[in-house]
């Protein structure tokens, strides 16, 4: 008998967004997401549970990332907004169906997952 073991490490990032995603902040979000993609990241979980508001420019930034990532074999998981107003926009536009649904960060990463880096980027 031969036994072959292959171990893979999948590089993934969780991006948690607080506050508002509007025409001003969406450009910063897009730049940050593009930088992560350009650095080779192909697996994303975007946590929007703490946003209060998102407009069409914010949705466009997320869909832009989704297109690029899926064309390159990756995926974007999305934790929907906790705010009913912001969540309603995802449901009305059916954007909630475009992304891989994620209930929580803990549901994606096991407790044994190694955290490589954590910090803030962009506007506070």
pLDDT in tens, 47-87: 999 999 999 999 999 999 999 999 999 999 999 999 999 99
51: in domain? yes
**CATH code (residue 87):** 3.30.750.24
Range of the domain at 54: 16-106
Q: How far is the first Cα of the chain from the last one, in angstroms, to the nearest whole number? A: 57
122: in domain? no
61: in domain? yes
Three-class SS of residue 25?
Answer: helix
124: in domain? no
Where do the DSSP E strands lie in the chain? Answer: 12-21, 43-54, 75-79, 100-101
Lowest-pLDDT choice from 11-15, 23-27, 35-39, 79-83: 11-15
| Structural domain count of the chain | 1
In sequence order, the 6+-apart residues with CB closer than 8 A to the CB of 95 are 59, 62, 63, 89
Rounded CA Rg of the chain = 16
Supply the pTM of this predicted model: 0.83
């Amino acid at each position: 008998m031969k036994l072959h073991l292959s171990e893979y490490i999948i590089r993934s990032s969780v991006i948690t967004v607080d506050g508002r995603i509007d025409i001003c902040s969406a450009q910063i979000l897009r730049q940050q997401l593009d930088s992560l993609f350009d650095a080779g990241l192909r697996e994303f979980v975007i946590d929007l549970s703490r946003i209060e508001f998102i407009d069409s420019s914010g949705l466009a930034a997320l869909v832009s990332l989704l297109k690029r990532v899926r064309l390159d074999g990756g995926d974007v998981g999305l934790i929907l907004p906790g705010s009913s107003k912001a969540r309603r926009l995802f449901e009305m536009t059916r954007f909630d169906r475009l992304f891989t649904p994620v209930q929580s960060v803990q549901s994606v990463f096991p407790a044994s997952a190694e955290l490589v880096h954590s910090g803030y980027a962009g506007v506070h």
